[in-house]
Amino acid sequence: MSLTVYRRKRDFAHTPEPRGRARKSAVRLSFVIQRHAATRLHYDFRLELDGVLKSWAVPREPKPLVGEKRLAVHVEDHPLEYGGFHGVIPEGHYGAGRVEIWDRGWWEPVGDPRAEYRKGSLKFVLHGRRLRGGWALVRMRPRPDDPRDRGKDNWLLIKERDKERERPRATRARPAPAPTRTRAR
Ligand code: MN
């Protein structure tokens, strides 16, 4: 996937955001949610897929309560490096305002994520600090008569019921063993 739209909107000489490049995904797919205090406060929900971050702007804070729905406006792909970005986008530039990392971790697709993303019905399990368990992103049917929908690709972010196997397991929460010291070479 191309980062053309992402780059076209930004002047990298003046914003601290990364220019980025599309790369190969790691074994575990990362996700990040950035709290972005732009003109309107929103939460940027990003899932790593095919070497970029698939992105949605969520105007209201996501809540991990079964059945909760949030509007999620699909936006352009962002580079993987963006997942580590926090800071202030300067006044007068695209998305001006403070960006904070609100949650991050990894995600597990339930089905074939590429096919589901294309179809507009993506189911997945989040392994984050704030958000965990089963979630879905579902594309809404566009309402051609509604001017609010013009040019928008509206999806819903939905908290789903957690299946037994998706519940965070206590064993996973155990801290990693202390690293063993290796002699400097
Ligand atoms: Mn944003």
Q: How far away, in angstroms, is 120 Cα from ligand 1 center?
A: 21
Q: How far away, in angstroms, is 115 Cα from ligand 1 center?
A: 26
Within a domain: 29: yes
Within a domain: 96: yes
Q: How far is CA 130 from CA 53, 89, 95, 134, in A?
A: 19, 25, 24, 13
Q: How far away, in angstroms, is 75 Cα from ligand 1 center?
A: 9
Q: How far away, in angstroms, is 33 Cα from ligand 1 center?
A: 10
Within a domain: 182: no
Give the C-alpha separation, 8 to 83, whole Å: 19
155 vs 171, more confident: 155
Q: How far away, in angstroms, is 127 Cα from ligand 1 center?
A: 22
Which protein residues have a CB closer than 5 Å to ligand 1 (ion)?
Answer: 36, 44
Q: How far away, in angstroms, is 67 Cα from ligand 1 center?
A: 24
Within a domain: 12: yes
Q: How far away, in angstroms, is 25 Cα from ligand 1 center?
A: 22
Within a domain: 111: yes
The answer to whether the CB of 101 falls within 8 A of the CB of 64 is no
The answer to whether the CB of 59 falls within 8 A of the CB of 42 is yes
For the segment 104-161, what is each residue's pLDDT rounded down to a tens digit?
999 999 999 999 999 999 999 999 999 999 999 999 988 778 777 777 899 999 999 9
SS3 content of the chain, % helix, strand, coil (to 5): 15, 40, 45
Q: How far away, in angstroms, is 32 Cα from ligand 1 center?
A: 12
Within a domain: 183: no
Q: C-alpha angle with apex 142: 22 to 52, nearest 5 degrees?
A: 10
Which of 36-50, 119-133, 159-173 shows the lowest per-residue confidence on average (mean pLDDT)? 159-173
Residue 46: how many other CB atoms lie within 10 Å: 23
Grade residue 168 by pLDDT with cuts at 50, 70 and 90.
low
Q: What is the pTM of this model?
A: 0.80
Count of structural domains within the chain: 1
Q: How far away, in angstroms, is 57 Cα from ligand 1 center?
A: 6
65 vs 2, more confident: 65
**Residue span of the structural domain in which 146 resides:** 4-164
Q: How far away, in angstroms, is 149 Cα from ligand 1 center?
A: 19
Q: How far away, in angstroms, is 30 Cα from ligand 1 center?
A: 18
Q: How far away, in angstroms, is 174 Cα from ligand 1 center?
A: 34
How high is the pLDDT of residue 110? Answer: 94
What one-character DSSP code corresponds to residue 16? -
Within a domain: 181: no
Within a domain: 99: yes
Q: How far away, in angstroms, is 175 Cα from ligand 1 center?
A: 33
